Chains A and B, each alone.
Chain A
Amino acid sequence: MVDLDNVSTASGEASISSSGNNNNNQTPKPTKKKRNLPGMPDPEAEVIALSPTTLLATNRFVCEICNKGFQRDQNLQLHRRGHNLPWKLRQRSSKEVRKRVYVCPESTCVHHDPSRALGDLTGIKKHFCRKHGEKKWKCDKCSKKYAVQSDWKAHSKVCGSREYKCDCGTVFSRRDSFITHRAFCDALAEENAKSQNQAVGKANSESDSKVLTGDSLPVAPTPAAITTPQSNSDLPENPPQIVEEPEAIVTTTTAAAAAAVLNANCSSSSSTSSTSNGCAATSSGVFASLFASSTTSASASMQSHTPVFTDLIRSMGCPDRSADFSAPPSSEAISLCLSTNPGSSIFGTGGQECRQYVPTHQPPAMSATALLQKAAQMGAAATNASLLRGLGIVSSSASTSSGQHDSLHWGLGQVEPEGSGLGPAGLGLGLPCDGDSGLKELMLGTPSMFGPKQTTLDFLGLGMAAGGSAGGGLSALITSIGGSGGLDVTAATASFGNGEFSGKDIGRNS
């Protein structure tokens, strides 16, 4: 219920932006005049900006007899009945009450903007209190503070009720801290089957998190043997070392990310319990030494620790720390990297397939990209001479073998290995020619070479007038293929196709 009194008696504190549409504070949106909130507060809604005092006020209605405070006038009235005082319940105003939305008075706040207004009075009060208010409520078990009593109550119910224990021995009561911790912890962990079996703490752990199994994980925390030592002794942090080291390792993703997070975590958690700190610092120390050694074998002092990241992500709990984790992205990175889902892990199979597949059984063939570039180069050859040279190149690169002539069969699937070693398998040769323009030239030819009228494209780019080149019949032939117009081609093919071949010609080149 809105206290209309407070709002309307603008004692300089409250303010109401005029009703109607919210467009007062923003540029008019295009077209749509929908009734119900397509992402904007109802344009018909009244935007109300209550003052901080109003928002923070509690128990403004006080009983004169016993000084009991109430948040709402209605409640006070009902209470007054008990004192046999005259009471009056105000009715809801009979006419339609216009919907109201509330903005936060704090100008730096996101919800200060009417387009992000909240629809509920209680909501805006709580929001203001939480965000811009003083945290007066403190949990007795941990050190968390809250500005809103209900938040505090809710927290204390769960505080300490669950405990999450990392493999390294650290205990957490909050799931998110636990998860974040495990992110680093895991980055240092050795991935092997044994460690995977140790499902940690409150994992709702599902077996599918095991996807990160040892070998083929692309983002796998590399040099396995990172583990956190058993003891919680503090190890000196080596932030710079950690940060630099990543290059030394092949799969730097998790390692570096973990390092970074670990770093941040360590620094931020310095004020927290020694357990967590120790663990973290230890991890970083381990991490550093791991990088230093850049071997994959576990160092003796390390305890094998493996829960897979996803395990980590899945499981709950984390140490309760007062410090904020300052590097959520890293754990996100890790979790992203290692997000697993048997059906669709982001990293999973693709990477595995990629890494495991070695096209040895297939002949090293020129990639299609390289072929296109080559064709373009050939097409871009400006003169007949260079074309022939180009031909020479082509033919020289392919050994001539006298032999089968059923080469045209392969179209039907009988591909035989070619193995002319024309280039690295599957990888483009990176020919210098700009493939795009070259092929276009191949298609379009250079204008200067064209005859006056080209209705179709001379795709070899030779552009020689049909029949007009010193290069002789070959070039003329080629030109006429690309020809100057469909009719020409038709004619050409017609003439060629209708029996110009003689057995002599056919047999000539065999």
Chain B
Amino acid sequence: MESMYQEEGSSSVTCSPLQLFSMMSLSPSIGGIGSPYPWLSRELKSEERGLYLIHLLLTCANHVASGSLENANTTLEQISQLASPDGDTMQRIAAYFTEALADRILKTWPGLHRALNSTRIIMLSEEVMVQKYFFELFPFLKVAYILTNQAIVESMEGEKMVHIIDLNAAEPAQWIALLQVLSARPEGPPHLRITGIHQQKEVLDQMAHKLSEEAEKLDIPFQFNPVVSKLENLDFDKLRVKTGEALAISSILQLHSLLALDDESSSSRRKSPLLSRNSNGLHLQKVMLMNQSASLGDLLEKDMANGYTPSPDSTSSSSPASSNASLNAESFLNALWSLSPKVMVVTEQDSNHNGSTLMERLLEALYSYAALFDCLESTVSRTSLERFKIEKMLFGEEIKNIIACEGAERKERHEKLDKWFMRLDLCGFGNVPLSYYGMLQARRFLQSYGCEGYKMREENGCVAICWQDRSLFSTTAWRARK
């Protein structure tokens, strides 16, 4: 350290950021939060700060992953000096990532974690609003709707009775658009039934109302069947699929949470995870790193108030990193297949946030959410409350889930398209190229959207919606193979 300073003394004027980084990261916070680091002779520019934040984030993640919580704590402190949910893109991202990392650390003290979260209010209306903002402030859902609707319309050509199952019926716009398209069909509109699934009855009521209203205006025989249920508990009988009717399924950002069910099913076979405490604080055993299927959820379930003795490493014979046979996701898809849909359109995030190690997920998430935050930065003002809400309540929560949760708790298991391809293929679905016309419409929509960064990529009849080069969402169409 001394040598470094001496060496750099002569070049103190051109003190480079990395030097600063290293100095800063090694020194404990002086004077507490908010006090300046006295040796800084100048403000960090946004870019430098951004780079520094990345550096710190990675350092911190490193520490968390290796269990050195003291260091993680230090790093967190430093990051909080720089990060801010009101700042520039990188600052915001850092804010949410560090919150997620902190949450992860906190989970090693389950009592503390639970206590801190015990009075959280979940406002349903806020949740609904945030989904609305996501729909309005990004083109992703709109493009997905365009592609989905077009696929449905084309496959239902000539059908008199159409039944659509919406795995997450939250946004009426999609079906209103479809109603309008169907009403303009040359052979006249079909008798349309939409079965909407959602966890909240109020949302379904709202959908029913809006859609029925629209159908009435367009004079389309229409029926909306609400199904209040979580996807994982879905009772397929409630869907009331009828004989001889043409069925379409629309799944938008819903399937990935089912992947978490694998962990749940296999958790019962697992031994208790390892947790030990020593005088330096809590350290997660290395084995937790290696056996990613070990579930923090398990940890939380046990009585940890008093800590417990570490079990020998040999007991970490917990199940190997979950194999690709996602039992419950697979059975869900099989059930969908057995409904013999004419077409199923699946839209999912196209990023790999399902890596087995924290670092993998963190790195990938950094890239994906950087892109998403960039989208907002380019299109929405920094002072916008909607933007803040999306960042905090939507992305922030996703990031928290990806980073801080393990096992069945970790619902945001985004995977890349090729993985979904395999899964769907395995469950008896055959890929159907999206219609040329649908893609054309989607492209035009994006073009007219007015923001240069959004791009659309098409490959083998599958569409990926990207921000710059980063693919964020993918849409594909499927039919049930016999």
Interchain CB contact under 8 A, A403 and B370? no
The answer to the question of A82 belonging to the interface, with a C-beta cut-off of 8 Å to chain B, is no
Cβ contact of A32, chosen from B84, B185, B335, cutoff 8 A: B335
- Which residues of chain B have C-beta atoms less than 8 A from A26's C-beta? 482
Check A426 against B42 for contact (C-beta < 8 Å): no
Task: Specify which of A37, A350, A422, A478 is in contact with B18 (CB 8 Å cutoff).
Answer: A478
Across the interface, do A176 and B370 meet the contact criterion of CB distance under 8 Å?
Answer: no
CA distance A34 to B339 in the complex (A): 11
Known contacts A477-B1, A481-B25; is-contact A41 B41 (Cβ 8 Å): no
Question: B441 at interface (Cβ–Cβ under 8 A)?
Answer: yes
Contacts of B4 in A (CB 8 A): 472-474, 476-477
Give a binary string over B1-43; 1 marks a CB under 8 Å from any A CB, 0 the rest.
Answer: 1111111110011111111001101111000001111111111
For residue B451, CB closer than 8 A to chain A, the reply is yes
B68 to chain A, nearest CB (A): 4
Chain A nearest Cβ from B150, distance in angstroms:
7
B86 contacts chain A at the CB level, 8 A cutoff:
yes
Is B185 a contact partner of A176 (Cβ separation < 8 A)?
A: yes
Q: How far apart are the CA atoms of A348 and B448 in the complex, in Å? A: 11
Q: Which residues of A contact B185 (CB under 8 A)?
A: 176, 328
Chain B residue numbers with a CB within 8 Å of A490 are 68, 70-71
How far does the Cβ of B52 sit from chain A's closest Cβ, in whole Å? 9
Residues of B131-189 contacting chain A, CB below 8 A = 132, 135-139, 142, 145-146, 149-150, 153-154, 158-159, 171-174, 176-177, 180-181, 183-186, 188-189
- Complex interface residues of chain A between 486 and 506 (CB less than 8 A to chain B): 486, 489-490, 492-493, 495-497, 500-501, 505-506
The reply to whether B176 and A341 form a contact with Cβ atoms under 8 Å apart is yes
- Chain B interface mostly helix, strand, loop or mixed? helix
**Contact partner of A325 among B7, B25, B176, B186, CB < 8 A?**
B186
In the complex with contacts A257-B444, A497-B28, A415-B86 CB distance below 8 A: yes
Total interface residues in chain A, CB < 8 Å: 151
Across-interface contacts of A409 in B (CB, < 8 A): 34, 36, 81
Chain B nearest Cβ from A200, distance in angstroms = 14
**A371-B482 in contact (CB<8A):** no
The reply to whether the CB of A197 lies closer than 8 angstroms to some CB of chain B is no
Residue of B nearest to A127 (CB): B160
- Quick one: closest A residue to B146, CB to CB? A336
Does any Cβ of B come within 8 Å of A240's Cβ? no
For residue B377, which residues in chain A have a CB less than 8 angstroms away from its CB? 359, 365, 367-368, 426
User: CB < 8 Å: which of B177, B448, B453 contacts A219?
Assistant: B448
Contacts of B437 in A (CB 8 A): 329, 333
Of B51, B67, B246, the residue contacting A394 (CB under 8 A) is: B51
Q: Determine whether A347 belongs to the interface, using a CB cutoff of 8 Å to chain B.
A: yes
User: A87 CA to B66 CA in the complex, in Å?
Assistant: 93
Contact present for A500 and B62 (CB under 8 Å): no
Interface string of A8-46 (1 = CB under 8 A from B): 000000000000000000110111101011111110000
Q: Which residue of A lies closest to B375 (CB)?
A: A426
Q: B243: which of A42, A369, A407, A501 is its contact (CB, 8 Å)?
A: A42
State whether the Cβ of B286 lies closer than 8 Å to any Cβ in chain A: yes
Instruction: Output the least CB separation between B222 and chain A (Å).
Output: 15
Are B210 and A257 neighbours in the complex by a CB distance under 8 Å? no
Say yes or no: B214 contacts A415, CB within 8 Å: no
Name the CB-closest residue of B to A376.
B54
B19: nearest residue on chain A (CB-CB)?
A: A474
Q: Which residue of A lies closest to B140 (CB)?
A: A350
With A32-B335, A183-B184 in contact, do A346 and B145 touch (Cβ < 8 Å)?
Answer: yes
Q: Which of A204, A339, A394 has the most C-beta atoms of chain B within 10 angstroms of its own C-beta?
A: A339
Which residue on A lies nearest to B339, using beta carbons?
A: A39
B449 and A336 within 8 A (CB)? no
Nearest Cβ in chain B — how far from A61, in angstroms? Answer: 28
A-B contact pairs, 25 of them (CB 8 A): A32-B335, A39-B338, A39-B339, A176-B184, A328-B153, A328-B181, A332-B184, A350-B139, A357-B381, A361-B381, A365-B47, A365-B50, A365-B88, A371-B50, A395-B14, A401-B43, A407-B40, A411-B84, A418-B45, A427-B378, A427-B468, A435-B367, A496-B26, A509-B15, A510-B39
Q: Which 4 A-B pairs have the closest CB atoms?
A: A426-B378, A473-B4, A355-B450, A407-B43
